[in-house]
Amino acid sequence: MERLKILVVDDESRMRKLVKDFLVRKDFSVIEAEDGEQAVDIFFKEKNITLIILDVMMPKMDGWQVVKTIREYSQVPIIMLTAKGEERDELQGFDLGVDEYISKPFSPKILVARVEAILRRSRQAKSDVIEVGGITFDKSAHMVTIDGKSVDLSYKEFELLGYFLENQGLALSREKILNNVWNYDYFGDARTIDTHVKKLRSKMGDKGEYIKTIWGMGYKFEVDA
């Protein structure tokens, strides 16, 4: 079986080597880029890159520009690395379509665990049936059951629950949810999300607690261990 290919982008060769060494040990194939321009060139040349690990502060083209460019053509999972821990940077990353956000310094083992978790979710997202925490979500049959009992959801509630399930553990901004669930750039009031989440939680009963509110940003679907 062909190894999954990961693009590691950082202008520090030491950092690239550190990340690469840990990923290779987990049997990933790693391609390196030392700046944003090179990263974009490699991404469009290679075509089959599974995930991108991307530094923010780089010469020629910074990480934000790389994300904007790639997101015009691809939804490949992207993990952003940054030395900054400021909330506004994190929010900017999520708004642009970043899947995960890790501040330097970080544990390489934690980074690899995040990579594996995102790729698991990515594979699960392509499955028609998702089962988690007593919830069974059948996309093709358009059915949801909770603890074996059928739950009657509106079309948008069903789509919203599916999006949460496909992105378990990821912080999702209201804008990102709107753009993915409503399938277009929504220029109205983002509070429409809050209304749908409230109804969805109510219909899910106790399982509604899996939808966590991230104040000032959006939501995260997380099943309590």
Q: Which residue has the tokens 């948008």?
A: 156
**Residues 47, 142 within the same domain:** no
Counts for the chain of helices (H) and strands (E), in that order = 8, 12
List CB contacts of 18: < 8 A, sequence separation 6 or more. Answer: 108
d(CA 31, CA 49) in angstroms, rounded, equals: 9
Q: What is the pLDDT of residues 206-217, one digit of tens each?
A: 999 999 999 888
For residue 211, give the amino acid letter.
I
How many CA atoms within 13 Å lie on the side-chain side of 70? Answer: 34
For residue 190, give the amino acid letter.
A
Last residue of a domain, one of 123, 153, 180: 123
Tokens of 70: 């790639």
Q: Select, from the ranges 34-43, 105-114, 125-134, 176-185, the one with the highest average predicted confidence (pLDDT).
A: 34-43
User: Does 186 score more than 60 pLDDT?
Assistant: no
**Residues 93, 165 within the same domain:** no
Does pTM top 0.95 for this prediction?
A: no
**Residues 132, 107 within the same domain:** no
**Domain boundaries, position 197:** 127-221
CATH at 78: 3.40.50.2300
Q: What is the pLDDT of residues 4-22, one digit of tens each?
A: 899 999 999 999 999 999 9
